[in-house]
Amino acid sequence: MVSNIEQHIKEYKSDPESVYHTWFLNNSDRLKAFRTIKSGLYDVIHAIESRTFGNDFKGSPLEFVLAAICEQKQVFEGAAHAFYWKPKMRIPDIYENEEHQLAFGRFLKSVSQTTQEKNVLTEILNLDSLQIKGLGPAVANILYFLHPTLFPPFNTAIVNGFNQLLGRKIKLGSWPAYLEMREELMEMNEAYRSAFSKDLGAIAGFMFEIGAGRIIISENAEKYLKSEAAKREKTHLKRHMDVTNDIKEKNEHSEMQYHLARLGSTLGYQVWIAQNDHKRQWNRHVLGEFSVSSLPSLNVPKSVAETISFIDVIWLDDQNNIISAFEVEKSTSIYSGILRLHDLSLSLGNRDCRLYLICPDNREKEVQAQLLRPSLRQENVHRISYILFSDLRCDCDAMCKYGRSSDVLDHISKICAAP
């Protein structure tokens, strides 16, 4: 006899628009995010240690990291809100209180440098003992991207789903409550291990869908019928639109990679397509056909090499020097692409290389604003230019015909100049 929980898990996994499919299973951006966020955390830690972090969330390297987390959509939508500085309550108290800020930096450094569950738990308890106002288990959304098999994400919908399914009364804002929920989720994940994954994102997504009302159980059915039906219908429609838009964006993403790969090959360069995109297709061509089978050794640390391998398109010369690197952005956040190019820039040092964001026309102003960030305009950082979808699409054939080197991109690329 199949239990109710097993039936709900089956419903969760069979729904093509559940976060199991739209985020956890079939989202290549999720895989990129782990490396991008870890890289961004190094900047946060360095800024705190060097006393350059600032006294507000806005403009800080932490904003960069949380934006990369939030772009994971449904499960992490709103994950940054807990870190916004709230002036009336003066929380979270890591912007004005230097001791708390340094403690937060030490916490991030420690949890990012260990793989041991016991060590992370110790750091959580140490952080909680400081009773830093407003700095609660929303930090677990960062922990998840460092240790996905040990620490699940944490938000209102996940907690609500957990409470409704298992009859608990876990509360938001408490580290002990989060750790209690974590223990039960890990036990449940083990009990149904063939249905979920070692990555706790799968079971967290299950709780999220229950808490959001997409999976109806007896504990949330009455609430759904009485007061939430219209709201949930709107949520379902939004989810459907999100899925439809994702398909459109993936097609546009593949199209831009195709144009860049074709142009690079025509100009005589070796082309690298992001390792998770080799099987994607555009115009009846498999993108992997344009790519070298493996990214040549770049003489950089392994973690940096892994991040670089997920850059959408790279052009290399015959000596395996990177000539140009491209990140194609869609309607989601542009942060992760910038962080990958920024990581590449720092690893290249003084070597000549051109970095480009390929962006939708309607996001040009946002791209300009992000590229004017002080952290991206340091002397030791390669300047990132941008190219609009429409310009690459319209001018690719002409550049293939008349171009002789990567300099041909000068005709369509734009640079943000500080006022």
- For residue 112, give Cα distances in angstroms to 198, 313, 384: 19, 28, 28
pLDDT digits (tens, 9 = 90+) for 7-30: 999 999 999 989 999 889 866 678
pLDDT at site 141? 96
The arithmetic mean of pLDDT across residues 162-178, rounded, is 92
- pTM for the model: 0.72
Q: Is the pLDDT higher at 346 or at 365?
A: 365
Average pLDDT over residues 393-400: 96
Confidence of residue 235 (pLDDT cuts 50, 70, 90): low
Specify the pLDDT at position 191: 93
Mean pLDDT of the chain: 87
- From the CA atom positions of the chain, what is the Rg in Å? 23
334 backbone dihedrals φ, ψ, rounded to 5°: -95, 0
Confidence check: pLDDT of 79 > 70: yes
pLDDT at 332: 55
Say yes or no to pLDDT of 146 above 70.
yes
